[in-house]
A = this chain, B = another copy of it.
Amino acid sequence: MPVAPDHEPLLRLLHAGAPASALRRLLDTHGDAAAAIAAGSRDWASHGLDAETCNAIRRPDAAALAHGLRWLAGDDHHLLGWRDDAYPPLLRRIAAPPAMLFVAGDPGLLWRPAVAVVGSRTATAGGRTNAAQFAEALARAGLCVASGLAAGIDAAAHAAALAAGGATVAVLGTGPDIAYPARNRQLMAQVEAEGALVSEHPPGTQPLRTHFPSRNRILAGLALGTLVVEAALQSGALITARLAADAGREVFALPGSIHNPMARGCHRLLRDGAALVETPGEVIEVLAPLVLDLARALRGSLEASAAVSPVTGVGLLPVDPDTHKLWRAIGHDPTGMDELVERTGLTAAEVSSMLLALELEGRIAAEHGRYSRIGG
* A residues with CB within 8 A of B: 126, 130, 254-259, 263-264, 267, 270-271, 275-279
Task: State in angstroms the CA–CA spacing of A130 and B278 once bound together.
Answer: 21
Per a CB cutoff under 8 Å, which of B256, B264, B276 touches A257? B256
Per a CB cutoff under 8 Å, which of B126, B130, B258, B275 touches A255? B258
A341 CB to nearest chain B CB (Å): 13
Return the chain B residue nearest A279 by Cβ. Answer: B258
Whether the pair A257, B257 counts as a contact (CB closer than 8 A) is yes
Task: State in angstroms the CA–CA spacing of A279 and B257 once bound together.
Answer: 12
Q: What residues of chain B lie closer than 8 Å to A255, measured between beta carbons?
A: 255-258, 263, 267, 270, 276
Residue pairs across A and B with Cβ atoms less than 8 A apart, 19 shown, are: A126-B257, A126-B259, A130-B258, A254-B258, A255-B256, A255-B263, A255-B276, A256-B256, A256-B257, A257-B257, A258-B277, A258-B278, A258-B279, A264-B278, A267-B276, A270-B270, A270-B276, A271-B275, A271-B276
List the 9 closest A-B pairs by CB distance, nearest first.
A255-B255, A258-B278, A270-B276, A271-B276, A267-B276, A257-B257, A254-B258, A256-B257, A267-B278
Q: What residues of chain B lie closer than 8 Å to A276, measured between beta carbons?
A: 255, 267, 270-271
Task: State in angstroms the CA–CA spacing of A94 and B367 once bound together.
Answer: 43
Return the chain B residue nearest A130 by Cβ. Answer: B258
Q: What residues of chain B lie closer than 8 Å to A271, measured between beta carbons?
A: 275-276
Extra A-B contacts (13), CB below 8 Å, given A255-B276, A258-B279: A126-B257, A126-B259, A254-B258, A255-B257, A255-B258, A255-B263, A255-B270, A256-B257, A256-B258, A257-B257, A258-B278, A264-B278, A271-B275
Task: State in angstroms the CA–CA spacing of A126 and B256 once bound together.
Answer: 13
Task: State in angstroms the CA–CA spacing of A264 and B279 once bound together.
Answer: 11
Task: State in angstroms the CA–CA spacing of A277 and B126 once bound together.
Answer: 21
- What is the count of identical protomers in the complex? 2
Q: What residues of chain B lie closer than 8 Å to A126, measured between beta carbons?
A: 257, 259
Q: What residues of chain B lie closer than 8 Å to A278, measured between beta carbons?
A: 258, 264, 267
Return the chain B residue nearest A260 by Cβ. Answer: B257
Task: State in angstroms the CA–CA spacing of A150 and B258 once bound together.
Answer: 24
Task: State in angstroms the CA–CA spacing of A256 and B276 once bound together.
Answer: 11
Q: What residues of chain B lie closer than 8 Å to A256, measured between beta carbons?
A: 255-258
Return the chain B residue nearest A129 by Cβ. Answer: B259
Q: What residues of chain B lie closer than 8 Å to A263, measured between beta carbons?
A: 255
Task: State in angstroms the CA–CA spacing of A154 and B342 once bound together.
Answer: 42
Return the chain B residue nearest A277 by Cβ. Answer: B258
Task: State in angstroms the CA–CA spacing of A277 and B267 once bound together.
Answer: 8
Task: State in angstroms the CA–CA spacing of A278 and B262 once bound together.
Answer: 13
Q: What residues of chain B lie closer than 8 Å to A264, measured between beta carbons?
A: 278
Task: State in angstroms the CA–CA spacing of A258 and B263 once bound together.
Answer: 11
A351 CB to nearest chain B CB (Å): 18
Return the chain B residue nearest A134 by Cβ. Answer: B258
